[in-house]
C-alpha cells in the first residue's frame, strides 16, 4: 500500500459512489480504495463492473461490507481497514437514501419515512465518522467528505422549493400529486450542519472537511430509476464522481468547510 492514499467510500457499489471509484481508478494518482457496500452480493457486482478499469490502473479496490444503519457493521468495517492499512486518508460518507414517494401516500407513514431518511443520511454518517475518526487523524493529510444534495439548501428552498419540472401544491386538502420530498430534504439539510460540526471538531487535527452537492444526476436514488430522471433533465452520475475526485485531489481546497458544487459553493 506504500505511496497510495487510502480511501474509504460508503455506498460505493452503485450511483455516485461507484462513479467516484471509477474516477479515482482513472486518476494518475494511485489509491487503495475500500468499496463499501451494504451487501456483499452488491459489492461483487460492482467489482465485476470495475474489471476493465482495474486491469489498467495502478490503484487497488477492496470490497467491504458496511451498512451505515448497523453499528456492528460499521465497527467491523473499521476494524478490517485498521488491520489492513492502519489508517484512512480520505473518508467519503456517500451512502444515502430517499424514502419519500408522494405527500398523500406518505402522510400516514411520515414518522417512518423521516426516521429512515435521518438514520441513513445523518445518523449513519455520524456514527461512521465517529468510528473512523481515529484512523482518519493518523493520516498526514486527512480529508472528510459528506454527500449532500442541491435540495438541502435553505436559501434555495426559500426562493424555489421544488425544481421547475416538479408538481406544485394546489389549494385544499389533501395535496394530491404533490412530491414534497420533506424527509430527504430535511435529512440532507441536517447533514450540512453535521459536516460543519465535524469541520469544527477535527480542524485541530488537520482534517479538511466538505459537503459535496453533485447536482441533479441520473442515479437510482429513491427507486425512481435513472431513465426517469434522465427524462427530467438529470446529468450523468460520472459528473458527481469527477467532482469528488477533484475534492480528494485538492482542487477545491479553497472551499473547505463549505458545500461544494460543480462550479462553486452552494448557499446554506
Alpha-carbon span 207 to 139, nearest angstrom: 9
124, three cell numbers: 449513519
What's the burial of 48, exposed, middle or buried (CB within 10 Å: 0-12/13-18/19+)? Answer: exposed
DSSP assigned state of 111: H
Catalytic (active site) residue 149: yes
Q: Per the residue annotation, which of 37, 87, 184, 208 is the catalytic one?
A: 184
Catalytic (active site) residue 37: no
Alpha-carbon span 51 to 56, nearest angstrom: 9
Alpha-carbon span 9 to 87, nearest angstrom: 14
Q: Per the residue annotation, which of 123, 139, 149, 152 is the catalytic one?
A: 149
Q: Per the residue annotation, which of 22, 87, 185, 188 is the catalytic one?
A: 188
Residue 126's nearest CA partner among 105, 153, 146 is 146
DSSP assigned state of 20: H
Catalytic (active site) residue 188: yes
Question: So which residues are the catalytic ones?
Answer: 149, 184, 188
Amino acid at each position: 500500500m506504500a505511496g497510495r492514499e487510502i480511501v474509504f467510500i460508503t455506498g460505493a457499489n452503485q450511483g455516485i459512489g461507484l462513479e467516484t471509484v471509477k474516477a479515482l481508478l482513472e486518476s494518475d494518482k494511485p489509491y487503495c480504495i475500500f468499496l463499501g457496500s451494504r451487501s456483499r452480493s452488491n459489492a461483487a457486482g460492482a467489482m465485476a463492473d470495475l474489471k476493465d478499469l482495474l486491469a489498467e490502473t495502478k490503484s487497488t479496490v477492496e470490497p467491504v461490507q458496511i451498512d451505515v444503519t448497523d453499528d456492528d457493521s460499521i465497527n467491523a468495517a473499521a476494524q478490517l481497514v485498521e488491520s489492513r492499512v492502519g489508517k484512512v486518508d480520505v473518508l467519503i460518507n456517500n451512502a444515502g437514501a430517499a424514502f419519500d414517494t408522494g405527500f398523500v401516500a406518505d402522510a400516514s407513514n411520515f414518522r417512518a419515512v423521516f426516521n429512515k431518511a435521518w438514520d441513513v443520511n445523518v445518523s449513519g454518517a455520524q456514527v461512521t465518522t465517529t468510528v473512523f475518526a481515529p484512523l482518519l487523524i493518523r493520516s498526514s493529510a486527512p480529508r472528510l467528505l459528506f454527500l449532500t444534495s442541491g435540495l438541502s439548501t435553505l436559501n434555495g428552498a426559500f426562493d424555489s422549493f421544488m425544481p421547475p419540472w416538479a408538481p406544485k401544491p394546489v389549494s385544499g386538502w389533501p395535496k394530491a400529486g404533490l412530491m414534497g420530498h420533506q424527509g430527504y430534504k430535511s435529512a440532507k439539510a441536517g447533514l450540512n450542519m453535521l459536516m460543519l460540526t465535524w469541520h469544527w471538531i477535527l480542524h485541530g487535527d488537520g482534517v479538511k472537511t466538505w459537503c459535496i452537492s453533485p447536482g441533479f444526476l441520473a442515479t437510482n436514488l429513491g427507486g425512481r430509476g435513472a431513465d426517469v430522471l434522465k427524462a427530467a433533465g438529470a446529468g450523468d452520475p460520472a459528473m458527481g464522481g469527477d467532482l469528488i475526485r477533484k475534492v480528494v485531489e485538492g482542487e477545491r481546497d479553497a472551499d473547505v468547510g463549505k458545500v461544494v458544487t460543480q462550479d462553486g459553493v452552494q448557499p446554506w
